[in-house]
Each structure stands twice: as structure tokens, then as C-alpha cells.
Amino acid sequence: MAEAGVDSPETRLAVLGSPIDHSKSPAIHAAAYRELGLDWRYERFDVPEGELAGFMSTRGPGWRGFSVTMPLKQEAHEFASWLAPAAVEIGAVNTLVFDDPDAGGAARGWNTDVLGFVAALNGAGMEAAPRVCLLGAGGTAAAVVAALPSLGTSELRVVVRAPERARELATLASSLGVGVDVLTFAQFDALPAESKHAELVVNTIPGDQDHLLVDEAWVDGALLFDVLYDPWPTNLASRWLSAGGRVVSGLELLLEQALVQVRLFTGRGVSERLPREAEVRAAMRSAALRVSE
């Protein structure tokens, strides 16, 4: 049964980005709305960098919101007329919600990656991570840093190829009361194995990361969250598992942040549960796995 006041034959949603053909979002969101009894259409549009404003100017009536992926998250931040605190901290928006579906209506901007990251970790049994090692300094890395206060993190080590790329991350971490240390991969590799240890290691860098020595001293008691998920497992995840460690796939982040988007698109707050939310999440997961096959 569709919920009163939010369903209509013209209700439309989409994911925007470039490239976008690989996106699992249409399958994941469609599964959620079917489970909720909502006859909504969720599409995908290839919108290159610099063209978000032009795309928005062509929007007709019936649009409820957009999921936004790379390379448009910073542009979406500038487009939104209102920003949630996490979007302000990160300077990036991955969700635009229109209060008025008529063409030309203003949009509110959110970043659901932060809550999605925490929810994915909680689902893996991790409630706290005093020490975190973050590989990479891209857009997803900023969402990870913004989530650290929720995990009680006091020490953050950022490992990057070029230290200047981590300046904004370091500033964000410091503003959140998290101590931060930035190292190059060469400096990190040179550390004694025991000093590399952290409760949580997050990889945000595409590629195999073959140069990283994954040994028991680094892996012992630590959880690896690899934000990549296709193909899976990554080389790093496979070596981490072989060393006896635990791993969370980026598919969990994709699902949890999308679940928060579904809450927002259906008129709820970011933490306001959906009806039969467990069943909705299960339907979304099944859809994502079918797309991967």
C-alpha cells in the first residue's frame, strides 16, 4: 500500500554523474520503492562535470529528488538552497531533495555518505574506533573523516601519495577534535609493523595497492573497510582476509547511504526509520547483488 501524500504517477527520481552506466543505484532504489508500495520511477542521467546547472534548468514537474555521484558532488553543494550540517562540513552533496515537485523549485542538499559509513560499520559490529588509518584523500575520504566523532576517534593517520592533497582533510579532522598525522606511502611503509596498527583501516583509493605490506601485526584486531566493491574482493581485501583480518565491502556503504536517501525522498528525517525497514534493506541488497552477477 502506497503512503498517502507522497505517491503520484509522475513521481520521478534519478542518479546524476559521469560516467553513470555502471551505477547500481537505479536497481537498488527501484527495489526499495517496490517494497514500500510506491510506483516511483528512478532513472540515471550522464551529466558531465560543469553541466549540473544546465541539466537542472531543463527539469520539468514531478521530480522529487536526485542522487548525485562523481564528479558533481561539489556542484550540487553550490546548487542547494539549504545544506545539512554534514554537507557543509564536507563541502559536497550526494542528495538533492525538492520540497516542491514543480519545475524550478529549490532543493535541499544532504550528504548521506557519513551516516551510511557509520551504519555500515555498526552493522559489522564496530561501534568505536579510537585509532583510524585512512588511505587516500578524495571525496569519500572526507565523508569518512566527518564520521569519526561518531566513532569516538581520537587519532587519525592519513596515508597519501602527495601530502598536499590531504590538507583539507587534516583541517576538517582538527576542527572535529581529531588528532591527525599525514604520511606518504613511502613513510608509512617504513614504519615498524607494530606502529601501523589501528582499530579501523579505510581504503578509498582505486587500484590494487600491491605495494602495501599486509602482515599480521597490522591486521591483528583491525577491521578493513574498503570503499570499493566492483570487482570484489579487491586485491587489498583478499590479502587482508588471508592475513586473518576482517573486511567490510564498499557495497555496505552504497546500500546504507542509499537507505538514508530513501528516507529523505519519502519525506522522513535521516534517522527516521522506514516502514518495514529491514525488509526494504534486504530488497535493496538483493537487487545490488543481482546487478553484480
pLDDT band, residue 104 (cuts 50/70/90)? low
| pTM, to two decimals | 0.91
Mean pLDDT of the region 2-19: 70
> What average pLDDT does the chain have?
91
Residue predicted with more confidence, 217 or 243: 243
Task: Provide the percentage of residues in the chain whose pLDDT is more than 70.
Answer: 96
Q: Tens of pLDDT along 249-287? A: 999 999 999 999 999 999 999 999 999 999 999 999 999
- Catalytic positions: 73
On the question of pLDDT at 126 being above 70, the answer is yes
pLDDT, position 207: 78
pLDDT at residue 103 in the model: 64
Residue with cell 547483488: 289
> Is 151 within 8 Å of 129 (Cβ atoms)?
yes
Q: DSSP for 71-104, please give it.
A: T-HHHHHHH-SEE-HHHHHHT--SEEEESS-STT
What pLDDT is attached to residue 7? 45
pLDDT band at 293 (very low <50, low <70, confident <90, very high): low
Provide, rounded to the nearest whole percent, the portion of the chain with pLDDT above 90. Answer: 77
| 198 backbone dihedrals φ, ψ, rounded to 5° | -150, 155
